[in-house]
Amino acid sequence: MIFLFLSSGLFLGWSLGANDAANVFGTAVGTKMIKFKTAVLIASIFVILGAVIDGAGASHTLGKLGSINALAGSFTVALASAITVAVMTKFRLPVSTSQAIVGAIIGWNFFSGSLTDINSLTKIVLTWMVCPILAGSFSFVLFNIFKHILDRSKIHLLVMDAYTRIALIVVGAFGAYSLGANNIANVMGVFTNSSPFHNINVYGLFTFSGTQQLFLLGSIAIGIGILTYSHKVIRTVGGSLFKLSPITAFIVVLSHSLVLYIFASQELRNLLVSYGLPPIPLVPVSSSQAVIGAILGIAIAKGGRNIKFNVLGKISTSWVTTPIIASIISFIALFFVQNVFDLKVYNKITYNFSDKVINQLEENGVDSNKLKDMKGKNFSNALRLQSELKHFHHFNNEEIKKIFKYSAVDTILINEKIIRKIVDRDYLTKAQLDALIKIQNKSFSHIWEFQYALMKLSDDWRFKEKSQLNKRYNESLNSKYEYLISLFRISKE
């Protein structure tokens, strides 16, 4: 059943590979500088490396947009997105996989009564707008730089041809790596909260996390999509929108790859923060939008002539309709899977305002006068709680976040048998494991209660003060909490 549920994510990965390989090597193949077989082999290898090594960053933002907490729900959302991408690919349109998965997640949010995180959605939509502009700016600047260099140089045409082929291979490999790092979140991001895989400690050298295992499977599916079905869209991107020379093909792929890497690299983000600069959001951006923006940047640098606006209009229309179509398909598919196959597509999360919840909110800075009308109330889902907060109270955004965090009912039972079955005990420190054993057979109705119980028993379960130096430690600790919660969570059904 696990692999049956994951099959939709693998199908989505195949669809992404079939569609987005064109953005990495479409221009190079379209200019006949690289053979199709060479291109797909390089793309397949490097997309896997990018996904496994550097794919975690963008998936966090997608997870905040909608926290899909049931495996059947993740399956259905990924399937709805994959169907949308596959249909668009059939019509030879370089559709955005990012837009398809975002639309499908929003469909799940509506169906389950969950909130759509507006901050995350705004961040993602803004990057959709910035992505082609940034890629176009890169290609415009790079074109003028290379034009200036080549006009002054006296390189023989044969030598230039050889250099260009090598450059296209190198930048294509970088592009495939960036594609895997950024877009693997679209393929497997919806499965991270309900992942069936446990972390594996490899001889004490490193931990191969459940998320990385998901990303490996997804990236292999992307590679298969590249190998089997990418040639159709490669022809559209490689020659239909604007005729490119080998040099401009290189510039387009480099510009596209830089944009994808910028929005996926945690190392680059940390470097900027260390210099006091604003952090770049780690968001799964549209590979298709990036490459088309880069092509338009070249076209503008050449005076804007010969742009095929009918093709551009067709592509732009697909970008607008993709999230809408994916959202509708997702909602209908979720209804079908739940009511026909009797599968749980979401774990119901309720909200209550017991005395302990009210006290916890007061201790965390929420005005007690505002909370008096909430005491003793229960809400069946997040949308109903949001409606209550919106119409009858005057809480600020920070207080609302705390209210949702502390009032959510999410039952945790520390099952003794599950503790014994944890194979990767090296994943936890001895102090962390000892603290967990001390609370075995106890239950908690809120996640924060479970976390506080562990923190009281061991300092190894406490987060460190926020700083760039402690960031990695806190992220690691948070992943341990998420891992344990997934193991010990009790379904309400």
- Tokens representing 134 are 């940034």
Query: HEC profile for 117-177?
Result: CHHHHHHHHHHHHHHHHHHHHHHHHHHHHHHHHHHHCCCCHHHHHHHHHHHHHHHHHHHHH
Q: Which amino acid is at 374?
A: M
Percent of the chain's residues with pLDDT above 70: 87
Predicted confidence band of residue 443 (pLDDT cuts 50, 70, 90): very high
- Tokens representing 375 are 């005491």
- Tokens representing 209 are 């996390």
Contacts of 324 (CB under 8 A, 6+ apart): 103
Chain Cα centroid distance, residue 374:
35
Contacts of 308 (CB under 8 A, 6+ apart): 240, 241, 242
- Tokens representing 303 are 């005076």
Taking the whole predicted model, whether its pTM rises above 0.75 is answered as yes
List the one residue out of 407, 411, 427 whose CA is nearest residue 419.
427
pLDDT digits (tens, 9 = 90+) for 2-45: 778 888 888 888 878 877 776 787 767 777 788 888 888 898 89
- Tokens representing 124 are 């993602």
For range 312-320, the mean pLDDT: 73
Return the pLDDT at 201.
Answer: 66
On the question of pLDDT at 71 being above 80, the answer is: yes
pLDDT digits (tens, 9 = 90+) for 325-334: 999 999 999 9
Predicted confidence band of residue 425 (pLDDT cuts 50, 70, 90): low
Q: Tell me the domain boundaries of the chain.
A: 2-340, 350-409, 412-488
On the question of pLDDT at 393 being above 80, the answer is: no
For range 57-66, the mean pLDDT: 73
Question: What is the C-alpha separation between 125 and 122, in angstroms, rounded?
Answer: 5
Q: Sign (positive/negative) of CA torsion 311, 315, 316, 321?
A: positive
On the question of pLDDT at 493 being above 50, the answer is: no
On the question of pLDDT at 491 being above 70, the answer is: no
Q: What is the DSSP letter of 459?
A: G
Return the pLDDT at 438.
Answer: 93
On the question of pLDDT at 84 being above 90, the answer is: no
Q: What is the DSSP letter of 489?
A: B
